C-alpha cells in the first residue's frame, strides 16, 4: 500500500492503495474529537485517491465506547461511501455490526478474517444486495 499516514492521536494508521483506504487501529479512539479528526483525514484521503471504499481493522483493540461508536455511525450515514468493511475480534461483534448496518441500510459488512473483508470490499459481485427468495 502507499500513502501511509498516522493521525495526530496515534490511534490509527491510514493507508491507501488503488482499491480502498485501510484504517488500522492501534488503540480505541478516546473521544468524539478523535473520531472527527479521523473522519477529516479519511475524507482527505478519499479525495486524493478518488475512491469511496474503506476497511476498518478493529481486530486488535475490540470496540469503542458508545459515544465514539455513535459518532462513527453518524459519519458513515452522512459520507456516502460505496463500501465499508470492518474486521472485528469476534463473532458477536461481527453479527452486531452487520445487523446494525442492515437496519440502517448501509453498505457495511463486518468480518472476523481480514481476507474475507478484503474479498468483499474489492469484489462488487460479492457486495450485491441480498435477493428476495421466491417460493414456488
DSSP string, 57-116: E-TTT----HHHHHHHHHHHHHH--SEEEEE-SSHHHHHHHHHHHHHHT-SEEEESSHHH
CA-CA distance, 81 to 4, in Å (whole number)? 20
Nearest-angstrom CA–CA distance, 97 and 23: 17
| 45 within 8 A of 55, measured Cβ to Cβ | no
**Separation of alpha carbons 114 and 8, rounded Å:** 25
Whether the pLDDT of residue 136 is over 70: the answer is no
pTM for the whole structure: 0.84
Looking at residue 128, what is its pLDDT? 66
Mean pLDDT of the chain: 84
pLDDT of residue 4: 45
Average pLDDT over every residue of 96-102 = 93
Q: What is the pLDDT of residues 58-92, one digit of tens each?
A: 988 877 778 888 888 999 999 989 999 999 999 99
In tens, the pLDDT along 29-45 reads: 888 888 899 999 999 99
Amino acid at each position: 500500500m502507499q500513502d501511509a499516514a498516522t493521525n495526530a492521536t496515534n490511534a490509527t494508521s491510514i493507508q491507501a492503495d488503488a482499491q480502498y483506504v485501510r484504517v488500522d487501529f492501534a488503540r480505541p479512539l478516546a473521544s468524539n474529537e478523535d473520531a472527527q479528526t479521523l473522519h477529516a483525514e479519511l475524507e482527505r484521503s478519499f479525495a486524493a485517491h478518488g475512491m469511496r471504499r474503506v476497511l476498518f481493522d478493529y481486530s486488535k483493540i475490540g470496540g469503542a465506547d458508545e459515544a465514539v461508536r455513535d459518532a462513527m455511525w453518524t459519519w458513515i450515514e452522512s459520507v456516502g461511501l460505496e463500501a465499508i468493511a470492518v474486521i472485528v475480534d469476534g463473532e458477536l461483534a461481527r453479527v452486531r455490526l452487520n445487523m446494525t448496518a442492515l437496519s440502517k441500510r448501509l453498505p457495511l459488512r463486518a468480518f472476523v478474517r481480514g481476507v474475507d473483508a478484503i474479498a468483499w470490499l474489492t469484489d462488487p459481485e460479492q457486495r450485491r444486495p441480498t435477493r428476495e427468495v421466491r417460493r414456488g
